[in-house]
Amino acid sequence: SVVTMLGTEMGLITVMYTAQTGVNGLFASFHIGLAAFLVTFVIGLTGFVIIKLRALEVKSIPEYYQLRFGKKVRILGAILLVLGGVLNMGLFLKVGAIFIQTIFGFESEFTLTVVMFILIILVLIYTMSGGMISVLVTDYIQYVILSIGLLLTVFYSISILGWSNLFVSLENINADLNISKDVYNPIKSMGPSYISWQVILGFVSAVIWPTAITRALSIKDVNMVRYQYMWSSISFLIRFIIPCFLGICAYIYFSGNTDSNTLLLMPKYLYSILPVGVLGLVVAGMLAAFMSTHDSYLLCWSTIITNDIIEPLSNKKMSSRSKIKLTRIIIFILGIYVFYWGLFYNGGDAIWDYLGITGAIYFTGAISVIVFGLYWDKASSTGAMLALI
């Protein structure tokens, strides 16, 4: 369960945005992984929110909304969840295609579109035919392959750049480029408000975000939920630190020359330093990560739309066969949207900030509704509706 949860959250998009964060913030960016580690560990240690949710035997956050506040809150909460989540997922395909395009040296916009089209067709066929069993199996395999590939990449990076030389080179590059920001101190370089935002995102990733919490709610033993979070916290730290470190290595390798597109730097770096066999393993791991994240998210959002929006609005119990058919149709529609959004969106945001802001459409209201609903007897349906709005 720990590995499949990490397999979902450790996608190609994760490696790309984390490496980009490393390029932009350098070693000061490590505080983001540290925040995720501490928050997830404390949640596992105390059982805050997760134990109460698991004890209610609900399978999703919208299901909890109905149990605690009624059907209207469930439907509204699910709509906002899907809105934020689908917008959040909108860049996954494009970022994955950018990685492949950069690794193979394709530079045209047309080639990027072709790569996106091929990838989304593969994902849709695989997800619509495989279902949740294929998701769990591939999440496990993908995590193992990608972990080996990333560890080998760290080894090659240190052997090529030199451990002590990393820090010296970084300071020299910033001095040559007249960059005065603090390389190591996030308080000075990013500010307390940004750090507090990362703590909130760490909490959201562990407790509020459905792809993570759904797995916790499906564990049979309540006490095992605690252990899952405590062990996952270590891996959440590692999953951020390693790609972030590779982003820093890429920044040093190219002497701070990012060409204004920091997202491309890490795949260019991998292509430059890795021998053919290792590069093939890393690319295979990245593609597996791309697949497993997409299938998990597509199944997650389509299931929520079916179970928590369409079925409650229809006021009748749907058969399992009807749900499966409807879920597949929604997966296909979501696939078309993700492809379109990848073509349409050309923003220059840092990917991590984009994900945080789009996710906030859902979780800023959901945090209040879930926490107060669980720990405050006077929390009402009207209050929940207003909080979500």
pLDDT tens string 120-156: 898 888 777 765 555 666 666 777 777 788 888 999 9
Whether the Cβ atoms of residue 356 and residue 197 lie closer than 8 Å to each other: yes
Residue 22 has pLDDT above 70, yes or no: yes
pLDDT (mean) for 265-269: 90
Answer whether 40's CB lies under 8 Å from 236's CB: yes
Contact yes or no for 15/245 (Cβ under 8 A): no
On the question of pLDDT at 257 being above 60, the answer is yes
The answer to whether residue 248 scores a pLDDT higher than 80 is: yes
Place of tokens 């330093």: 273
Q: Which of the four pLDDT bands, split at 50, 70 and 90, describes residue 76?
A: very high
Cα separation, 248 vs 262, whole angstroms:
11
- Between 120 and 182, name the one with better pLDDT: 120
CB atoms within 10 A of CB 38: 15
Mean pLDDT, rounded, of the chain: 85
Q: What secondary structure does DSSP assign to 301-366, as a single string?
A: HHHHIIIIIIHHHHTSPPPHHHHHHHHHHHHHHHHHHHHHHHHH----S-HHHHHHHHHHHHHHHH
pLDDT of 357 over the 60 cut? yes
